[in-house]
Amino acid sequence: MVRRQLGRTGFAVAPIALGTTKLGRNTDVKYSASFALPSAQEVAALFESALKLGVNLIDTAPAYGDSEERLGALVVNHRAEIMLCTKAGERYVNGRSVFDFSAAAIVASVEASLRRLRTDHIDILLLHSDGRDVEILTQTDALGALARLKQSGKARAVGISAKTNAGIIEAARSCDIVMAPFSQKETALADALAAVHDNGLGVVAIKGLFSGHLRARPAIEFVLNQPFIDALAIGTLNPAHLEAAVEIAENLRGRG
Ligand SMILES: NC(=O)c1ccc[n+]([C@@H]2O[C@H](COP(=O)([O-])OP(=O)(O)OC[C@H]3O[C@@H](n4cnc5c(N)ncnc54)[C@H](OP(=O)(O)O)[C@@H]3O)[C@@H](O)[C@H]2O)c1
């Protein structure tokens, strides 16, 4: 896959990234069908196909159950080939999400993520917003924690997984990257994403298949043809689905 620049970060990413919610979490989620968590062999096969296909950005989070731990066991031998995106502010406790955006919680979360991912740095560290994007960015000390983590080298780029237009616009003041839902079914954030992309932020789309409710080819083409989207994280457990997404990205009819 031809790689794309992720905003001003200097990172070159394949347009298809691997989203890993399903590696560790199957409760309190919005997928089109219920599913069992994958076996260690299935996770290893998925990871191997990501490497083989040139997928070089993997998105995870403490909120995705043991996704980070499962990835850590595999990434440890391939760290230089993979960019890791993880998040802080949301945890998965007894099957539900719990949020804390205090600086102390963010720092503790990142230290735990580094241990689970078996690495000394996170390439992209995002605040895992619960929807109160602007409040998190302006009324908590989370951004200060991100800045210090970046300065120490524990995070190379920082940002927010946002859910609102106002949050995306606010993020442009202090962030390198925004992640946001965008699909044929969910276009409400388009103008804000375009504005911050013009401002130099990297934009990673999620839920391009509307969590499995859309047909893959038109859905992926729609997202990746937007000039303000650098990469789309596909949340799959199936190596054939990842391969199909890569084929679609490689043969885009609009933007190349
Ligand atoms: N920051 C946040 O708040 C947040 C929220 C949600 C998601 N995310 C990130 O974004 C990623 C993607 O989001 P998502 O997983 O919710 O949604 P998604 O990528 O829109 O949809 C994933 C669903 O589509 C199915 N699928 C994938 N490729 C397919 C294909 N070629 N044909 C048929 N079905 C296909 C998958 O099933 P199979 O497993 O069978 O392929 C899965 O159930 C997540 O994994 C996570 O990394 C972040």
Domain ranges of the chain: 4-250
Report the atom number in ligand 1 closest to the C-alpha of 240. 31
Report the atom number in ligand 1 closest to the C-alpha of 206. 10
Taking a C-beta distance cutoff of 8 angstroms, is the pair 27, 95 a contact?
yes
Share of the chain above pLDDT 90, in %: 94
Share of the chain above pLDDT 70, in %: 99
Report in angstroms the alpha-carbon separations of 34 from 37, 120, 243: 10, 35, 22
Q: Is 211 in the pocket of ligand 1 (CB under 6 A)?
A: yes
Measured by CA distance, the residue closest to atom 25 of ligand 1 is: 212
Q: Which of 211, 213, 243 to mutate to test the pocket of ligand 1 (most atoms within 8 A of CB)?
A: 211
The CATH class given to the 4-250 domain equals alpha beta
pTM over 0.95: yes
Q: Tell me the pLDDT of the chain averaged across its residues.
A: 96
Distance between CA atoms of 228 and 240, rounded to whole angstroms? 27
Q: Is 244 in the pocket of ligand 1 (CB under 6 A)?
A: yes
Taking a C-beta distance cutoff of 8 angstroms, is the pair 222, 248 a contact?
no
Measured by CA distance, the residue closest to atom 2 of ligand 1 is: 161
Q: Where are the alpha helices (DSSP H) in 164-206?
A: 165-171, 190-198
Note the pLDDT tens digit of each residue in 43-74: 999 999 999 999 999 999 999 999 999 999 99
